[in-house]
Each structure stands twice: as C-alpha cells, then as structure tokens.
Amino acid sequence: MKTGILFVCHGNICRSPMAEFIMKDLVDKRGLSSDFHIESCATSTEELGNDVYPPAKEELRRRGIRFKHRCARQMKSTDYGNFDYIIAMDNQNIRNMGRFVNGDPDYKISLMMSHVGESQGVADPWYTGDFSRTFDDLERACSALLDEILAR
C-alpha cells in the first residue's frame, strides 16, 4: 500500500504545491516513487482551478525540481481517510482544516516545520515575495518528514 501525503495551505498555488513537487523529487531520487501518493490542496476556495503561481514555478525551475500543470483544489472530508499524513503550512491552515478532518482522531495532521523541530509556519511567499526562503524551509522539512516516514 502506498503512503499518502497531503500538503495543505490557504490557496494551493504557492507553498503546498511547492512542497508536493519537492517531496515527489525527494522520493524519486531515492527510487521510492511507487511507494508514495503525494498531493496538495487548499483550505479556501480562492484559487480553485488555478495553476501554481508563476514565481513559485520559477523557484522550482531554478532549483531543478520538476513540476507539471495542476489545478488548485480545496480539501475534502474524504481526504482524511485517503492520506496517512496531512501537513499544514501554518497554524491558520490547521484551524481552517477543522471542518474537513473531524477533530483529527488518527493524529494525521502536523505543522510542516515541526518536522525540523520548529513551531512557526512556513512563510507565505504570496505576502513575503521570498520564494527562495520558502523553498529552503520546505526542502528541509520535506527531507526530515521523509526520513521520519521511512524510519517507521
């Protein structure tokens, strides 16, 4: 059975798709792509149907991370049963997920940066404009998360 990872942010056009493609790259480099199912989604409806934000795409390109066209989607209550790990980019995302996860009875939800021992969220480059810093944080946390999963 594949391990399912769902990355979640507000609009699903910057942080969560960047995390999705970074994690896909990490598992691919370890020859584990067939063992994982990795997606991303939004808590809001603001960007539904939109592709990854162009500056986020540019940062992925600059770092050699492959990505493909995708459409932002909103989280669904069925996602909770379909994924083993649900990773939020910040605490507001966790709060906004509440209506989809029924209290997280299986303890699937975590804050992205908690996987590197940090309690803050991933800075939203939509507001900061710093896609490089966001990429660095996501890459570090994705790597740590993958190591955690593989150690189980």
124 as an active site residue: the answer is yes
**What's the whole-number mean pLDDT along residues 106-129?**
97
Q: Of the residues 9, 14, 41, 142, which is catalytic?
A: 9
Q: Of the residues 25, 79, 90, 124, which is catalytic?
A: 124
Given a cut of 90, is residue 113 above it in pLDDT? yes
pLDDT at 83: 98
**What's the whole-number mean pLDDT along residues 52-79?**
97
106 as an active site residue: the answer is no
Confidence of residue 133 (pLDDT cuts 50, 70, 90): very high
Q: Of the residues 15, 41, 137, 142, which is catalytic?
A: 15
* Tens-place pLDDT, residues 71-110: 999 999 999 999 999 999 999 999 999 989 989 999 999 9
9 as an active site residue: the answer is yes
Is the full-model pTM beyond 0.95? yes
Phi, psi of 39 (to 5 degrees): -140, 180
Q: Do residues 81 and 100 lie in contact, with contact meaning Cβ atoms separated by under 8 Å?
A: no
Task: Tell me which residue range forms the domain holding 30.
Answer: 3-151
**What's the whole-number mean pLDDT along residues 15-19?**
98
Nearest-angstrom CA–CA distance, 92 and 100? 14
pLDDT at 1: 85
* Tens-place pLDDT, residues 21-41: 999 999 999 999 999 999 999
Nearest-angstrom CA–CA distance, 40 and 75? 9
DSSP of 2-38, one letter per residue?
PEEEEEEESSSSSHHHHHHHHHHHHHHHTT-GGGEEE
Provide the domain count of the chain: 1
Report the CATH number that the domain containing residue 70 is assigned in CATH.
3.40.50.2300
Average predicted confidence (pLDDT) for the chain = 97
Give me 89's structure tokens.
């980019």
